[in-house]
Amino acid sequence: MTDNIFQEIAVLLLIASMVSALILLMRQPLIVAYILVGILVGPSVFGIITVRDEVDLLAQMGISVLLFVVGLKLDLHLIRTMGPVALATGLGQIVFTSVVGYFLSLALGFSPVTALYIAVALTFSSTIIIVKLLSDKREIDALHGRIAVGFLIVQDIIVVLVMIGLTTFGSPDTSERFWSNLLLLLLRGSAFVISIGLLMRYVLPALLHHLARSRELLVLFSISWAVSLAVAGEMLGFSKEIGAFIAGISLASTPYREAIGSRLVNLRDFLLLFFFLDLGAKLDMQQLGVQVAPAVVLSLFVLIGNPLIVMVIMGSMGYRKRTGFLAGLTVAQISEFSLILAALGVSLGHINTEALGLITLVGLITIGLSTYMILYSHPLYKQLSPWLKIFEKKVRRREDTDSSADRTAPVDVILFGMGRYGSNLARNLTQRGLNVLGVDFDSETVALRNNQGFRVCYGDAEDPECPSALPLNQSKWLISTIPQLDINLALLNAVEHHGYQGRKAFASHTDYDSEKLREAGADLILTPFVDAAEEAADRIAGRTRKEDSSEGAK
C-alpha cells in the first residue's frame, strides 16, 4: 500500500512537470496546467490516480501555508485601514451577485430552489486561486491586492453562515436551529479571537525570540502553528482558510515575519500544486455537456457583472478607477466552495445532479478565463481605461489622501520606491539639501517611512494617472528605484504624457534594461549593485593602500 501511494504520487508529479513545461513553452499560466493535469489523471478521464485522500491532505496543507503567509503580511493597523472598504465591497458584491443571479437563473428556466443554489454558488470567489495569482505577480502588497484579500476573507466568513443555513434548511425547527447555531458560532469565534490576542500579547513574542535561535525550528513552529490554527478554525465551525489566516496575522507584528515568510514560499508553491490537481480531479466531466448554454450565460455574468459591482462600490468610496478595476478582476470566478455547496445541495435533495454539472462547468469556465484576466490585468486596463472614467469620482481620490505626506511643501525630487535602497537614497539627498517627496505602492511602507520622518505618499508607478496627483511642475528630478523595466517604461510614458520637463533617473540591474531606458528618454541610469561594488572596492583599496603606506613608513 505504501509503495503504491509513493508510486502514484511520483507518477502524478512527473505528469504535472511535463504538462507544465509544455504549457510554459506556450506562455500559458501554470495554474491552468495544474487543473488540466488534475482532470486528465482524475476519474473523469484516465483515472490514473487513486490516492485521492493523500492528495487532498497535501492540498489542505498547501491552503494552510498559503493563507498563513498572506496573514503574515497584514498587521492590525492595515486591517483597521482596509476593513471598511473590504466589508463594503465584500457585502455589496455578495448582495448584487446573489440577487441578480437568482433572477437570471429563474429566467433560464430553473426552479426557485435551484435558482437560489445557483445564485449563491455564483457569489463566492476563490481565495486560494486569487491569492496565488496575486502573490506570483507580487501584487499581494499593492493596495488593490490587500483590498481583494480583505473582501475575499469577508466572503469566506459569509460562506460559513450559508453552510450553517443549508444544513438546517428543511428541518421542522429550522429558524430556531439556525439562530442557535449562529449564536454558538459567534461565541466560539469571539473566544478564538480573544485567545489569539492574549497569546499575541503575552506568549508569542517571547516564544519566537527563543525559537529564532534555530532557523529550522522557527520554520517548523510556523508550519505547525498555521496547520494547528487551521484545524482549530475548522473545529470551531469556521474554515481552514480563516484559521490559517488568523495564524499568520498573529505573527505579523513580530520582527520575524519576513524571515518566516521568505522560507515558506517554496513549500507553499509545492503544496499548492496538489490543491489545483485535486480541484481538477474533482470536476465531474460527465455532467458538463448538458448545460453548455446556461453555463455560458452565467459565466459571462460572473466575468463581467462581479467586477463591475466592485468598481461601482470602490469608485463611490473615492478609489481610482484603476484600483477598482484591478480589485474587481479578482471576483471574476466562482470558488471551490461553490462546488462544495452544490454537492451539499445534491446530498440534501434540494437540487439534482444537472444543477451540480452546471455549477461545475461555470467554475471551469470562470476559473480558466479569470486567470488570464488577472495575469494580464495591466494590458487589459490600458485597453479599457477610457471607458472606466464613470467609475471614478471627480473629487480628490482616496489614494491621494491615504498618507500624511505634506504635498504643499517644496519638492526638488520625486522618488518612486521607498524600500531599503530608495529610503537610503532619499536620506542622502535630504542631507544634501534637496526636498524629497517619496512615492510607494505599499501602504504599510508609506506609513513606516512617514513615521521615520520622510515625506511619502501612496502611488502606483504602473498607474498612468498617478503623476497627475504629484507636483511635477516643481520637481527638478524624477527618480525610480524600481528594478522592473516594464514598470519604469510605463512611468516614463506617464510623466511625459503629463508634461513633465525635469530630469529622469531610473534604476537598472542589467545592460539591456539600461539601454532600453536610455532609448526611452532616461537622463541618468542608476545601477545599485555596480555602484555599491565600485564604492566598496574603492574603500577596500584605499584602506589597503593606507595600511601599506603605514607599514612602509615603519
pTM: 0.72
Side-chain-facing half-sphere of 62: CA atoms under 13 Å: 24
Backbone angles phi, psi at 312, to 5 degrees: -65, -45
Distance CA 138, CA 487 (A): 13
Domains of the chain as residue ranges with CATH:
2-391 (1.20.1530.20), 403-537 (3.40.50.720)
Q: What is the DSSP string of 361-372?
A: HHHHHHHHHHHH
The sheet with strand 524-526 has its strands ordered as: 456-458, 436-440, 413-416, 477-480, 503-507, 524-526
The pLDDT profile of the chain, 554 residues, written as one tens digit per residue, is 455 788 888 888 999 999 989 988 887 777 778 888 888 888 777 887 777 788 888 888 988 888 888 788 766 665 666 678 888 888 889 999 999 999 999 999 899 989 999 999 899 888 888 888 888 887 887 778 888 888 888 887 787 777 666 665 545 455 566 677 778 878 888 899 899 999 998 999 899 988 888 888 998 999 999 999 999 988 887 778 788 888 988 998 888 887 888 888 888 888 888 888 887 777 666 666 667 889 999 999 999 999 999 999 988 888 888 889 999 999 999 887 787 788 778 777 888 878 888 888 888 889 889 988 998 888 898 888 888 888 877 655 566 555 545 556 789 999 999 988 899 999 999 998 999 999 988 777 888 888 888 999 888 888 777 887 788 888 999 999 988 888 889 899 888 888 898 999 999 988 899 999 999 989 999 888 877 777 777 778 777 766 666 666 55
Closest CA to 70 of 129, 147, 141, 126: 141
3-state secondary structure of 477: strand
The label of the residue with cell 529564532 reads 212
DSSP H or E stretch at residue 524: strand 524-526
Distance CA 220, CA 518 (A): 47
* Pair 275, 341: CB distance under 8 Å: no
